[in-house]
Amino acid sequence: MDKKGIKSLHKDKRGAVLVEFLVAVMPLMITFSSFVQLQQIATARLMVKHSAVVGARAAAVITNKNKNTPDQKQDENFKTVEAGIIAALGPWSKTMTVSPKIEDASSCADPFGMVTVTVNANYKCSVPFGGRIVCGLGARHDFQNIKYSMPHQGARYKDGDGASCE
């Protein structure tokens, strides 16, 4: 390149506006995508809380580990409660892995004891840029020990195989 060509490059200002635009817009886009990711995490947390409520309602009705619900077989019905929890997540179940736990404090002496469902979920952050900034390099966010309790819907009477303290 000759000296005349180099001098003409110094005077050429055609790309300056594009560079200034990128310098101004990129931080704004990264900030916006971070806020979008934070909003999705907040929504996912609400969905996990809702699934814990649904799981507790289901467990309060269908768990029968202590034989205090006459019309149910004696079982914890864990798979049924887990299916209800996953169904309560709706489309969010595709972006999360869920591990529920059921604690049934009901007994023959207290058929209305509390049933507690604990849901632990691992959410996959999916927003470009924002997911890496908000959720880190692993791009996952954990919701630990989301609990909800309800009284067991047991019964004190003995009818068939139910409510037997023997």
Residue 68 to residue 165: CA distance in whole angstroms: 9
Q: What are the tens digits of pLDDT across the range 59-103?
A: 888 887 777 666 666 777 889 899 999 999 999 999 999 999 999
The range of the structural domain enclosing residue 94 comes to 16-151
Residue 70 has phi, psi (to 5 degrees) of: -60, -35
For the chain, how many structural domains are there in total? 1
Reported pTM: 0.77
Q: Which residues of 124-138 are buried (b: 16+ CB within 10 A; e: fewer)?
A: ebebebbbbebbeee
Q: What angle do CA 26, 32, 38 make, to 5 degrees?
A: 140
29 located within any domain: yes
The pLDDT value given to residue 162 = 47
Regarding predicted confidence, which is higher, 125 or 13? 125
4 located within any domain: no
2 located within any domain: no
Residue 41 to residue 131: CA distance in whole angstroms: 10
146 located within any domain: yes
The share of the chain scoring above pLDDT 70, in percent, equals 82
10 located within any domain: no
90 located within any domain: yes
Q: What are the tens digits of pLDDT across the range 25-54?
A: 999 999 999 999 999 999 999 999 999 999
Query: What element of type H or E holds 143?
Result: strand 140-151
50 located within any domain: yes
164 located within any domain: no
Residue 59 to residue 81: CA distance in whole angstroms: 6
Residue 119 to residue 145: CA distance in whole angstroms: 6
